[in-house]
Structure formats: C-alpha cells, structure tokens
Chains A and B, each alone.
Chain A
Amino acid sequence: MSFYNDLIVLLCAERGTKFSTYSALVTQRNCITVREVELPSGAVVVLATCNDGNTYQLFAGTQDGSITAQAITQPLPLPTQLPNRKQWGQLKVFNRMWVDGKDITNFQVSYSVDGGPYSKPVALANHNMIGLRGKQIQILFTHSVAAAAGVTPMITYVNIYDWEFAGLQR
C-alpha cells in the first residue's frame, strides 16, 4: 500500500522562504499523520504514523548515512546580481567555488548549467574547481554517508568567487 504521503513539508517560518522537504520516511513507509507531541518524558518531539503500522519519531536518529540529503541552489547569477542586467544573457565561465561547513568532505557536489544534466558528483572540499561554461549555473550538494560522531553535516557558506564572462580577459 502506498496511498499515503511520503513527503513532509518543512516550513522555515522565520525566514519567509520556500519550503524544504523531509523524505526520510521512504515510500514503503508512507506517512498518515504527523504531529508535534509531548512525550510522557516531557520532551516535545514530532511523531509520524506510517502505513507499515509503525510510529516514527522524526529528527531523532543519528547521522548514520541512512538518509540522503540534497540541496540545489537557484540558477545563478540572478539578473539583479550583475553589474549590468544586459549581461545576464552573456555566456560565463564558472571557475572556482568556496564552500564552508561541517563534514564537508562527505558531501558530493555536481553542477548543471542552463538547465542541463548535472555533472558527475565529486567530493566536496572548501576549495572546488568547476570549469563550466553557460549563462547560469546550479549547484547540487548531496550527503548520503555517515558523518563522524557528533558532527552535523552542514553548509554555511557558498561563494563562486572565480568566474568571468566568456571571452573576456580578467
């Protein structure tokens, strides 16, 4: 049976942003009801009942690599982010990207330009070579392995600090 919902929408209320999703309950465990509840112990947690008959406590396990997390940036740059909006249609060369965070080396990163397929994932580092050409680029971060004990995989800063318009000398 898979009549239930398998995707939980997380709303980041304070930022007025779009929604993120929580797909950690895989298809075989489609979700029926999600509630924030107070446990007998007094802890306030989020529980979900699923069509396998189990009740799950969300956000309660360890970073054991059992779930895959993905984050995709919006296409960059935005017209408003360029010195001259007319330059948005020009081809660019995206060279290098700097990333800060935790458990960075266990992330995989791949790139897509102008809506095309994503490149083959490679291990993420603070300093990453891109070397792609296009009008806009999107970056896909993936984390699917166990993190070191007590470490929360996290991306705190991303900056494509080295890029140029195609054919221009720096």
Chain B
Amino acid sequence: MVNLKGLSLKLDIDSRDPASWEVLNNFDCYIDGSIRKCLPPIVYGQKPGPLVILNFIDWRANDSAPRRIIGFGSDSKLYDLTSGAQVGDASPYIPGSTGNIPWMGMMPGTLIPYNFRNWKATTAYSLNDALLKYSFVDGMLYIYVVTTAGTSGAHEQPYTNVVNGTITDGSVTWTNIGLQSNFQFILNYLVIQAPGYRAVKWDGTNVTQVGVSAPGTPVTANPLVVTPNFNGYGPIAGAFYAFTLFNPQTLHESSPSPLFGPTTFYATDLTTNKTINGAFIPPLPQPATGLQPQSYQEIRICVRQSAITAVAIGQGFTHVRFYRTKDGGGTLFLLTQLFDINGNIITNSDGSIPIASLSMDGNDYEALPTPQAAQPMLCAYDGFGNANLAPNAQTLATYSDFSSGKIVLQVGGGQGAGSSISNSFTYVGTGGASGNLFRLSPSFTLAGGTYAFRAYMDATSMSAGTMAWYLSPVGGAPVLTLSQTAGARGFVSASGAVPAGTYYLITDINGTVGNGNTIVWSDPLLQLGASNTTIGYPTPDSALVTPSPPVGQNNPPPVGEWAAIFGNCLIIQDEADKVKLWYSDPIDFESFGAGSSLRFPSATDDQITCLLGTFQSLMIGKRRLVESITGEAPNFTPAPVDPSHGILGKRCAINLGSNTVGLLNTGLSLIKLSLGVPTPFEVQVGYSPGWFVGRTYSHLLMPYHQLPRTR
C-alpha cells in the first residue's frame, strides 16, 4: 500500500482535486503547485483626517499625466490618499455623513481653464481672460489669452493663427494658445455618483455637478425697430427664438429653451390680461401695393435674469447661446452676431455670449400662461440701430423717367466699403450725354425733425456732369441733397431739418457715361438724428447654419443610485425608478437625452442591484436575476443572462475574463456572460453551479449602515 499517490497534495491542477485546501487564510496559491504566506498590509500615505474613505480610484488628468489616488471621504470631500491633502469638496451637492458609498469613474471631457469674455474697445482685461476668435488667415477657432493685462484699443486687431504668436491691442497683449479643440484641453473628469444624489464631476480642482438644467423659461422676443424697406428681416411665416446655457470651459451646452408663441396671461402688475408674442416674431403686415414694405431692423430677445443667473443644476455656465428658426422653419440655428443695447457685438466666435455682456433692459413678461408680473430681463439684440427710413431698393424705380440707357437693379450687393445695406442699382451708359434723368421711390412720410442722409455713389465711369440722391417732398424742392462729381466715388452724407410731410427719394443723373460703362447708386441710409449711426440688421436666414442641440437632448442626469461606464456612455441607475437606466451621449457624458433610458421591469419588480461593464455587455444584476445590454447607444439591446439567480449588492461582482464572479444569496458564484460549450451535448449560458463557495460574505459596497455584521 505504499506509493499511494492519492494522498499527495502536490498543488498543481493536474494532480490534485480543486478542493485540496479546505481553508486558505493569508495564504495564496503560488506558482507552481505551492501555497505561500501573504505579506501583511502597510499603511499607505497620510491619513486624511478623522473620517473614513468610502471609495477611491487612481485618477489621472490625461493619458500622459501621473496617476493620483483620489478618495471620497465620509465628509463628501475628496482627498489625495498619498499626501492626505483635501483636493476637492463635493459636500455642496452630496451632503456629508450620508454613509453611502459612491461610484467613482473617469469620463473624458474638456476643460479650458480661462475666463472667456468678448472683445470691446477700451476695456480692461486681466490675466487669464481669453477670447475665442477665428483667425482670418486660416478660419480656425483659436483661443487668445491675456498675457499682459491692460486696456484694449479702439479697434480689434487681426488675430494671428500662429500658436504662441502675440497681438498687441492697446496695452493688452493677447497670445494665441492654440485651437479650442486642442488636445491640451482634454481632461479625464472624475465622476462621482452617490446614491440618492445627482452625479458630480471633479476636474482636478473643483467639484461641480454633471450636466446643466434645461432652461424652463422661453425667450421673450420684442421687435423694437421696423424699417420701411426689406433691408431688415421680413419673415413671411414667422420665426422662433430660443437660448441655451453654455459653459465655455467645458464646452457643454444645455438643451434649448422651450418655444412659446403668443400667450395670454393675467398681468398681476397691470391687473389685466395681457398677450405677448413670446419667443415668436410674427410676419409684419405689409402695406397695400405701391406703398413701402416693412421689415424688422432690431429685435430685442430677452431672458428672465434669474433663469440664467440661478441655474438649478450645473455650475460654470457663464455664457448663453441664442438660436432662431428660419422663416417658417422648425429647426433652431445658432445666431452668430448679436448686439448689446449700445450696439456692440457681444457674440464670441463660437456663438456664445457672456451673460455679463447681456444688457439689462427693463422688465418684461414671459410667455407662460400663468399670472405674473414683469420681471428683470437680460437682453441681446438681433439687429441694431436707428431705423433706416430709406425706401427699399426694389421700389426706388417705381417712377422713372430714365428714357435712355439701361437700368440694372442689384439686390444683395452693397457697393460701399463696409456696406451693410445690400441693395444697389446701376445705370449703363450709352456714350452720349444722358440729360437729366431721375427715378422716384414710392412716397413715404417723415415726422418733422433733423435727419441724416448718407448714400454711396460711384461716378468713376462718368466723364462729365453729376449724379445725385435727393430727399424731396412731394411737389417741392429737395431738402437734403447728396452729389457726386464725375470721376469720383464713395459715401456722401448730409443732414438737416426736414419738415413733416410726404417725401420721395430721388436718384438723378445728368452727365455722360461711356458706352457700356456703369455708374452706381447704393446703400441709402436715412435716419432720424444729426448724424448717421451704425446699423446691424437681424441675421438673415441664409446665415443660419449651425443647428442647436435637439430639444431635450442635453438634459442633466437624473438623481442616481449607481453608475457604470459602457459603450462610451455614462450609465446611471435612476434613484426614483430603480429598474431604469439612463445613458449619456456617447461623446458627451454630461448630456442625457429625454428619451435616453431603458427599463428592466420584472414580474416581481426586482430592482437593479449591480451594474458591471463586462465583455461586450453591461451586466445588470438584480437580486433574483441577471440581465445585460449589448450594442451601442442609442441601439442598446437588452438580453437575459440568468433568470434564476441575482447579485446582492452594488459592488458584489467583478469581471473574470468573459465571466463575472458575483455574490449571490448562497455565496460567490461564476456567471458566464458568453456562450460556452462544456461538452458536445450541452450549451451553457449563465449561472455555473460549480462555483458555489457556500459561505456568505458582506455586501462590499452597500451602504455600510444597512449591512449586517460580517461575522
């Protein structure tokens, strides 16, 4: 009976039973066929303080940065576990002492650590202030940072496309630090999902909430200035305005504000019903044939001040973006040039506007069908300036005695340098004297006052005589005259008293223009006042290019219970509906679409207890079953894994190759997540009974105050 090999405990898998050791405590299995005593633990780093660290992770800012061990303390503050130093504070969003162990993970995002402003003349700029501008050289969007603080000059300087190149602007020096999309601004955010709270993110310094509230208040649009021509914006069906909240440092943007049209409500301050257009600008009523048409020159778009300065969810949203539909359209497009109350362009090159640059322009109402009083509004202006009362180009030749030569009408091609008025017409010469020819606009009325009149004339092709614009009363002599001598070109202006009455705008030629050569009248600008002021017309539909985020697509995450990362998405379990999972936009972990959720109901309303990103799937554990999803957002495909066994707690499962080891009611078990073929006659998917240990262990990551004692 010697050489009884069955009693050999040689510890290799080929010659011993897997259960050779009934107990191995502080021993591990060592290559090959041995057990060895484990090394004891040592204290790592500095103790953060009189608290416990509930969870931790090795975080790094980007792929080339060193790792840091960041722990989440029971006081909801973040600590560097190596140095013991506090490095962040989540307690404003996650009250301390909750005892709930949070989920922690990293998601890539953007952090541009500058204070973005817009450019204004003779304005003080400090270090770390930044502009976002297209370089005229290559059309790319660069960031220009103040490297020498000072006061800007009278005019904006050309922006270099040379990285590290500088621009001297008054006493300010701007330095091009690279493209907005530069890799240097990519950051791994540390995302923390504490049960019962909204997810927060840490950028290495600050803790802020993930996402931003969708604006709940509509834009209030008020057309302020209407021009008696088509130079402005003349919708036929009408258009809607909306806005979003924008964080220029993270580039995250909210969902658009709601679109409310004409709304009637009880105005508590007026003690009467009131109707406003809301976010809608209606088509202008056009006059009868032969009279001047109308268009919007200046539209004030306002947002309730408290709606953008006190955002419910989200921090750092210091900018807004305004959007408008095309005439009669349903898609919102970014407005890239808006003005403040003084006519300054306040839109950055990325279409964002610092909230601080919006104008406080009195109180107004919101288009919400609820009793309300007028409230302080912050406004921007789509179009700006005193009304241009000059008639429309298309109608300047309504009455014409041009009997020779050819008339060419051009619309959309203003001739003057810096022209903002896009209409002109030309006279094509015959080579002979024209005689005194003139064209009359339709008549229009002016209130009495001082008017400034400016227009462009190009007489370079005229060899003799003059060309002119006249503002002339019906049946009377001109009150304002603009003349251009032969061979000259440019803007000509005049101003003076104009009695109230009915007027024509007259274009006149009395000279010689070479055969086939042209002379040009364009850009008439007639404004009330002693001098002409700058005009900015509303953005034409043709300039609306960049669509807004879809309505409801960039919402913040819900109050969550737990989280996971799968398919480039941040997955969050809904705290109020624990069988529902929300998934983020795959390229923006801060955006959760209104419909970006999946529910996993069961006959027993078994709630999700565990999320684990695994081999090709996200394992969704419940107490009595296991499911999974595969694929990519938004086409996730749910699939059952094990209908009979579940996972007890949030951190009670780990990956093991293509399988998962999870804690079941009866002990630890292996859950196969891939198709297996143990023998030619069976296929195995799911729970593998051979892995029972038969001893219960504590739920490693459940709230500790809810746990039974381990032993």
Contacts and interface: CB of A to CB of B under 8 A. Distances in A.
Interface of A: 2-7, 9-13, 15-25, 30, 32-35, 37-40, 42, 47-64, 66-78, 80-83, 101, 138, 143, 147, 152-165, 168, 170
B9 interface: yes
Contact of A74 (B19, B48, B67): B19
* Max chain A C-beta neighbours (<10 A), residue from B9, B30, B698: B9
11 contacts: A4-B707, A33-B651, A49-B81, A50-B52, A53-B52, A55-B45, A58-B41, A66-B40, A71-B25, A159-B7, A163-B7
Given A22-B26, A33-B701, A62-B39, A49 B71 contact: yes
Contacts of A32: 52-55, 101, 704
Interface stretch (B10-18, B234-242, B477-485, B558-566): B10-18
B605 interface: no
B26 A24 contact: yes
B22 A138 contact: yes
Interface residues of B, number: 75
Contacts of A12: 28-29
Interface string B66-95: 111101000000000110000000000000
Most A CB within 10 A of own CB, among B8, B40, B57, B707: B40
Given A9-B668, A40-B66, A49-B52, A69 B38 contact: yes
Contacts of B18: 15-18
A40 B22 CA distance: 38
B21 A82 contact: no
A24 B21 contact: no
A166 B10 CA distance: 25
Contacts of A160: 7
Given A69-B25, A77-B7, A81-B5, 20 more contacts: A16-B13, A20-B21, A20-B24, A22-B28, A33-B54, A33-B55, A35-B57, A49-B54, A49-B71, A52-B52, A55-B45, A56-B42, A58-B41, A71-B27, A154-B37, A155-B34, A157-B10, A161-B2, A161-B3, A161-B4
Contacts of B52: 32, 49-53
Contact of A7 (B9, B704, B710): B710
> Looking at B58, B101, B711, which has the most chain A CB atoms within 10 Å of its CB?
B58
Contact of B71 (A20, A55, A138): A55
A63 B21 contact: no
A35 B56 contact: yes
B32 to A, nearest CB: 9
A68 B2 CA distance: 34
A9 to B, nearest CB: 6
Which among B6, B11, B38 has the highest number of chain A CB atoms within 10 Å? B38
> Which of B4, B82, B693 has the most CB atoms of chain A within a 10 A radius of its CB?
B4
B675 interface: no
A147 B67 CA distance: 34
Contacts of A143: 37
B178 to A, nearest CB: 28
**Nearest 9 A/B pairs, CB to CB:** A81-B6, A20-B24, A37-B58, A69-B26, A49-B53, A158-B9, A61-B40, A56-B41, A72-B23
Interface centre among A20, A153, A168 (most CB of B within 10 A): A20
Given A35-B57, A81-B6, A70 B23 contact: yes
B210 to A, nearest CB: 22
A21 B37 CA distance: 11
Contact of B58 (A39, A153, A161): A39
Nearest to B81: A55
Contacts of B698: 4-5
Contacts of A21: 23-26
Nearest to B32: A156
Contacts of B101: 32-33
